[in-house]
Structures are given as C-alpha cells and as structure tokens.
Structure 1
Amino acid sequence: MRLASDIVGILLAAGRGRRFDPEGVRNKLLQPLGEGSPVVAASARHMLAVLPRVVAVVRDDDDATAALLAQLGCEVARCADADAGMAASLVHALRQVAQADGWVVALGDMPRVLPSTIAALRQAVCEGAAIAAPVYQSKRGNPIAFGRLHLPELLALAGDRGARGIVNNNPVTDVAVDDAGILLDIDTPSDLR
C-alpha cells in the first residue's frame, strides 16, 4: 500500500457571512484581526506555511478576496454556485485537485488555527488516516483532513453541511493538538478581538 504524500489544502472562503453582517455590507473575511491582518489572509498564511499547494474557493463575484488570496500564493477557484452551500464550494475545489492523495479542508473564517495543527493533520493522512480531525481539550474542531478513500462521497456532497455527515459516519483519526484555534471562528464583529 502506497502512503499518501501529495496533500493539498482547500480553503473555503465563499460564504456570505450573514451572521457577521446581516446586510451583507462588510465581508467578514476581509476584516482586520487585532494585529491588522485580514481574517482570510491569516487563515491562508497558516495553510501555506505547511502545504505547498492551497486552493482557495471564493464566490464568483468576490474580486477583493480572490485578489488577496492570489497575492498570498493560493490558487483561486471561483465558484459560481457558492450560494448553494458549503458543499458546492468544497466539491468545486475537489474537482480541480481530485488527483491528490488527500486534502486538508479549512475554513477561511478560522484564522487562529496554528500551522502545527495543519502539519499534524497532513501527517496523519500521509500515514494512512482516511479522515483526521484535530482535538483540543476533548473537543473536535476544524480543519479536517481526508484521504482518497472518501473522494467519491466528498464529490457527491450537496447543501450547507459540508462534509460533516462523512465525518460523523466514518472512523476518524483524532489528532491531539495544543491549539484552541480549532474551535474559534469569526461569526460576529466581537470575534475579531
């Protein structure tokens, strides 16, 4: 059995962030964190520090996020049907990198996930895990890594639940991390602090 080695990052950055701004005026992914870096830039940099290839999915009409992520070194995938839900964005990215041995799927609004966590998830898939999830103080968080075994199920996803059903219905390799960032996303303006 050949172990995985070509692990690609997928950064989901195509949501509208309605909980952050119900009127849709402010893109939460472009809001500055306490140190001044935009939310999605921090998320992307942490992935790029570990993974040589990161595909970032953005809405078709989100030129600002697309430009920022491209400048950082991500491959930008514009998803015309992103409003159909998270699954549409994930499937869109997977179709472009389906030949990889595995994928670390991260959320653009989780900028506090440490590069060491991403590296640990990548390593778990390289060592044969079909699904790997980070665990901090007995709580499972994001991102989630997948090996090729689950590619057909991932490509069949639909709706706004993403890959949660696949994770809930299959064996998962839990990866213990010292990283509270796996539990912290940006949902409201107060989360930026």
Structure 2
Amino acid sequence: MVSAVLLAAGQARRMGQPKQLLPLDGKPMVWQVASAACGADLLEVVAVTGAAGEDVGLALADLPLRIIHNENWSNGQASTIRLAVQSLDTRAKAVLFLLADQPLVNKALINNLVKAYRESGASLVVPRWQNQRGNPTLFDLSRWRTELLQLTGDQGARGILAAHPQCIHYVDLPGPEILLDVDTPEEYWQMQQLWQQYKVTKG
C-alpha cells in the first residue's frame, strides 16, 4: 500500500504570495494536485500545511484527505517530510511525495508510479522526461524511512536520489509539461496557459 504526501507548507518567497492558493479553473492549485491524488490508487492522502496553513486547509476541506500542520515549516522542507513520514498510516509500504505547485500531475501518472513500484520491486520510483528527473517521487519505507527521518534543511529528499541513482526505477513521460512547477508570476502565467491546453487534451 502506498500513501501520498502533499507538501504544501512552503512560503513561496519568489512568488510573493502563497502559490498553493493561486487559482486554476476556479480552484486553488493545491486543490488540483490533491484532487488527482484522492482519485488515485492510494492508501491515503496526507496534506502537510505550514505557511498560510489555515487557508490551505480550508481550500482542501472538501476532499477525502488528512491534513496535518507543520509548525516548524520555516525550518525547511525536510521538517515537513519528517513530520509526514511519522504521521503515515502504519500499513503504508511506500510514500509518494507530491508538490503543491505541480497541478498537471494527474491520476494516471500517480497510478503509473504506484504500478511501477509494485511490479519493479525498486525502492525508488521517479518520473522523467528524457534525462530530466521530476516529481512525484516514491520511496519504499522499509528501505528509506530512516534516511527520510534524518533529512535536514530545505533540500527535501533530492539528496537521497542523487546518492543512490542505481536504486531508481524511472517512469518515462510522453512530454515535459507534467513536470513543470510554479515559482514566479511568469511561471504562473505559463501554467494558466498550459492548464487550458491540458483541459482540452484531457477533455
């Protein structure tokens, strides 16, 4: 069984406002990511809030997920990951980390990552476009729980992936769009345009 963790605790300094709450198609960006996860083949979805925690929690209130608040969010993403791993359902065999600013991540990709984990036996499963590694990333808990709980700073779990490339099973993507995130107003504008194309393609 795979649990999903939605990392939604950041302050979004470069954006100048909580990017998790920026609207796409009338819903906050974080809701679009969470909704895809809630429809996927997962044991549970856990959203971790931090900056703008109350507003993010309200934005997700209509979805079947669990919300936990990281009071130490300003210490960096590692603190959010540690709290999330400690809070997972005890039945979880693996954890899939989702980012709140990647709204093009869909249920199909999430299910493909979970399927690849089950079929490959790999302890790390990562999507990629050509040689570009992306998110969401999946970690087998029997192998990586200790390392995840020892993370520090704001680098997240990238250091684990960089140090253990031989353990990674890649899921290749048909295009780069799904890996795009939003850090600046310009990237948000681009995401709005992509979102309209995405809707047409998926519709």
Q: Considering only aligned residues, what root-mean-square deviation do their CA atoms show, in Å?
A: 1.6
Q: Quick one: distance in 1 between partners of 2:38 and 2:105?
A: 12
Matched, 1:36 2:58: no
Query: Which residue of structure 1 lines up, in the alignment, with residue 132 of structure 2?
Result: 139
Q: Quick one: distance in 1 between partners of 2:79 and 2:29?
A: 22
Query: Which residue of structure 2 lines up, in the alignment, with residue 168 of structure 1?
Result: 162
Task: Note the C-alpha offset of 1:61.
Answer: 5.5
Q: 5+ residue gaps in structure 1?
A: 1-5
Q: Quick one: distance in 1 between partners of 2:105 and 2:63?
A: 17
Matched, 1:72 2:63: yes
**What TM-score comes out, normalization by structure 2 length?**
0.85
Distance 1:93 1:140, change over 3 A: same
Q: 1:49 aligns with which of 39, 52, 70?
A: 39
Matches within 5 A, 1:1-193: 6-21=1-16, 26-33=17-24, 35-50=25-40, 51-59=42-50, 62-97=53-88, 99=90, 100-127=92-119, 128-148=121-141, 149-170=143-164, 171-192=167-188, 193=192
Name the structure with the higher helix share: 2
Moved more, 141-150 or 43-52: 43-52
Task: Note the C-alpha offset of 1:72.
Answer: 1.5
Q: 5+ residue gaps in structure 2?
A: 193-203
**What TM-score comes out, normalization by structure 1 length?**
0.89
1:129-176 CA distance string (max 9 Å, x none): 200000123321111001121111111111100001111111211111
Q: Quick one: distance in 2 between partners of 1:15 and 1:60?
A: 6
Task: Note the C-alpha offset of 1:60.
Answer: 6.8
Amino acid at match of 1:165: G
Q: Quick one: distance in 1 between partners of 2:74 and 2:93?
A: 28
Q: Quick one: distance in 2 between partners of 1:118 and 1:151?
A: 20
Identical aligned residues as a percent: 34
Task: Note the C-alpha offset of 1:52.
Answer: 4.2
